[in-house]
């Protein structure tokens, strides 16, 4: 147990940390900071392509910006060969990241076609070589994020996890689905438990963590050492607060304060460029989850042309809720079905990745400030 927890302790993390996943098109520094404020112990830059790094893509280097107030930060890389990943990690080693993850789970066709993401899972020898090459290029902790396998007929997470461990992985994050499964498919906690049992490095669980009870359920069913939240944090950075404080309920005052802070950070990062407002729209639509009477807010947000317009809408919406008879957001448990099944974020991810990994239409934006 002492050995298992030590890599987290070395990073200054608690024994059972809560992580914000790398999220293409979502986990830029304004959003990461919102989650860190609410208690996320470790956050990540969205997935970076080794090829884009090696070709010195300007947008990719902008995505690697670490804000001066970020106390700890991870980065995630994927690549079509062990050699490319090793070369990219050698560059990442010189940048201000505390830990480096290798993505072996991204299901997006465009990514997989180039041999990246979950394509790596299909060849455990490549998993081993990739992690080994990464570990040879840095002395920072290297982790691997995997799925249970390519499809139900080829579940190989145990072999893959053992290969990653043999290559030197400091921990393994398991998304409890196969590459071919959708978000509507349940997370296979038994598959995750078996991975946990098969390796001696820590295992972080990922998949369908939307509320405190989900963490408790995953912990009991699998014994994993940490938890990585993905969709559950989108529009809901308070999820990390809820993990720590069972009694927490989100009031409209707190909501307004946090959403405005996110808007201000968005402006600090991207300026008043119209694309900054366009990128903020999705966050605002997610932030509206769980409140009553959001239809008109959502419609207005969809056409907010500037961050100032968006700020005005947030203030008006908050005022309306404050004058209603319920100033608290509905329990996420009540909205959980809608969150899990009504909207498949894979399309969001596809759209983001179709424009280049993590490129969210920001190509027309001015230089992002390096803090
Ligand atoms: C919009 C979006 C972007 C994502 N981008 C990444 C990424 O860059 N790297 C990664 O490892 N996983 C990425 N994922 C996958 C999630 O990290 C996670 O494995 C998956 O959503 C399952 O967790 P969940 O059920 O809690 O959402 C992304 C998911 C979404 C919805």
Q: Rounded to an integer, what distance in angstroms lies between the CA atom of residue 280 and that of residue 163?
A: 40
Report the topology of domain 2-244: TIM Barrel (3.20.20)
Q: How far apart are CA 299 and CA 261, in angstroms?
A: 22
Start-to-end CA distance of the chain, whole Å, equals 38
Q: How far is CA 134 from CA 44, 48, 183, 283, 294, in A?
A: 17, 14, 30, 33, 46
How much is the pTM?
A: 0.92
Active-site residue, 106 included? yes
* Predicted local confidence at residue 293, as pLDDT: 87
* Residue 143, helix vs strand vs coil: strand
Q: What is the pLDDT of residue 366?
A: 37
In this structure, the residue with its CA closest to atom 13 of ligand 1 is 23
Catalytic: which of 106, 116, 135, 279?
106
Q: 59 - beta bridge partners?
A: none
Six-digit token string for 164: 């990653």
By the 10 Å C-beta count (0-12 exposed, 13-18 middle, 19+ buried), 27 is classed as: buried
Give pLDDT, residue 333: 59
- List the residue whose alpha carbon is closest to atom 5 of ligand 1: 23
Beta bridge partners of 328: 251
Q: Which two tokens stand for residue 362?
A: 């920001």
Atom in ligand 1 nearest the alpha carbon of residue 208: 25
The DSSP symbol for 272 reads T
From the CA of 101, give the closest atom in ligand 1. 11
- For residue 127, the CA-to-ligand 1 centroid distance in Å is 20
The CATH number of the structural domain formed by 252-322 is 1.10.1200
Q: 174 pairs with which residues across the strands?
A: 146, 205
The pLDDT assigned to 275 comes to 86
Q: What is the pLDDT along the chain (371 residues), one digit of tens a residue?
A: 444 458 999 999 999 999 999 999 999 999 999 999 999 999 999 999 999 999 988 889 999 999 999 999 999 999 999 999 999 999 999 999 999 999 999 999 999 999 999 999 999 999 999 999 999 999 999 999 999 999 999 999 999 999 999 999 999 999 999 999 988 899 999 999 999 999 999 999 999 999 999 999 999 999 999 999 999 999 999 999 999 999 999 999 999 999 999 999 999 999 978 889 999 999 999 999 999 989 999 999 999 999 999 999 999 999 999 999 899 998 775 555 445 544 444 444 444 443 333 333 333 333 333 33
CA angle, 84 then 50 then 106, to 5°: 110
Inter-residue contact 13 to 47 (CB < 8 Å): no
DSSP sequence for 245-264: -TT---BHHHHHHHHHHHHH
CA-based nearest residue to 90, from 138, 49, 140? 138
The widest CA-to-CA distance across the chain, in whole angstroms, is 61
Enter the tokens of residue 58.
Answer: 């300007």
240: tokens are: 């990390």
The reply to whether ligand 1 has any atom less than 6 angstroms from the CB of 209 is: yes
Q: 2-244 and 252-322: same fold? A: no
Look at the block and give the residue holding tokens 């390796």. Answer: 199
Ligand 1 site, residue 108, Cβ cutoff 6 A: no
Q: What 8-state DSSP symbol labels residue 155? A: B
Query: Residue 57: what pLDDT?
Result: 87
Task: Name the residue of 19, 20, 23, 348 whose CB sits within 8 Å of the most ligand 1 atoms, as the mutation to test its pocket.
Answer: 23
Contact 67, 33 (CB under 8 A): yes
Q: Is the CB of 175 under 6 A from ligand 1?
A: yes
Domain ranges of the chain: 2-244, 252-322
Residue 184: per-residue pLDDT: 85
CA of 228 to the centre of ligand 1 (A): 10
Q: Cα-flanking dihedrals φ and ψ of residue 29, to 5°?
A: -70, -30
């Amino acid at each position: 147990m002492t050995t298992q927890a030590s890599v987290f302790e070395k990073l200054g993390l608690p024994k059972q940390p809560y992580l914000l996943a790398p999220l293409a098109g979502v986990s830029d520094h304004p959003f990461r900071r919102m989650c860190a404020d609410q208690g996320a112990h470790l956050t990540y830059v969205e997935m970076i392509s080794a090829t884009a790094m090696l070709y010195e893509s300007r947008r990719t280097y902008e995505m690697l910006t670490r804000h001066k107030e970020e106390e700890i930060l991870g980065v995630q890389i994927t690549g079509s060969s062990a050699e490319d990943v090793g070369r990219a990690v050698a560059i990442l080693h010189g940048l201000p990241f505390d830990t480096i993850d290798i993505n072996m789970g991204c299901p997006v066709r465009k990514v997989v076609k180039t041999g990246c993401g979950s394509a790596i899972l299909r060849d455990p020898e490549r998993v081993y070589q990739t992690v080994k090459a990464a570990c040879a290029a840095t002395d920072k902790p290297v982790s691997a994020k995997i799925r249970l396998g390519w499809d139900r007929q080829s579940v190989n997470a145990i072999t893959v996890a053992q290969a990653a461990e043999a290559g030197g992985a400091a921990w393994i994050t398991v998304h409890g689905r196969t590459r071919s499964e959708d978000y509507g498919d349940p997370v296979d906690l038994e598959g995750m438990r078996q991975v946990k049992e098969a390796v001696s490095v820590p295992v972080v669980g990922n998949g369908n963590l939307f509320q405190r009870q989900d963490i408790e359920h995953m912990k009991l069913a699998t014994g994993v050492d940490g938890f990585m939240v993905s969709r559950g944090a989108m529009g809901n950075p308070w999820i990390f607060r809820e993990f720590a404080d069972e009694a927490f309920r989100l009031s409209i005052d707190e909501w307004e304060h946090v959403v405005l802070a996110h808007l201000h950070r968005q402006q600090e990062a991207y300026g008043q460029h119209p694309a900054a407002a366009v990128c903020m729209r999705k966050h605002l639509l997610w932030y509206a989850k769980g409140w009553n009477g959001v239809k008109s807010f959502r419609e207005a947000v969809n056409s907010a042309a500037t961050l100032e317009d968006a700020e005005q809408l947030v203030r008006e919406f908050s005022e309306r809720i404050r004058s209603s008879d319920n100033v608290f957001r509905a329990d996420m448990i009540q909205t959980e079905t809608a969150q899990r099944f009504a909207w498949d974020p894979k399309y969001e991810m596809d759209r983001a990745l179709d424009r280049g990994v993590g490129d969210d239409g920001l190509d027309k934006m001015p230089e992002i400030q390096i803090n």
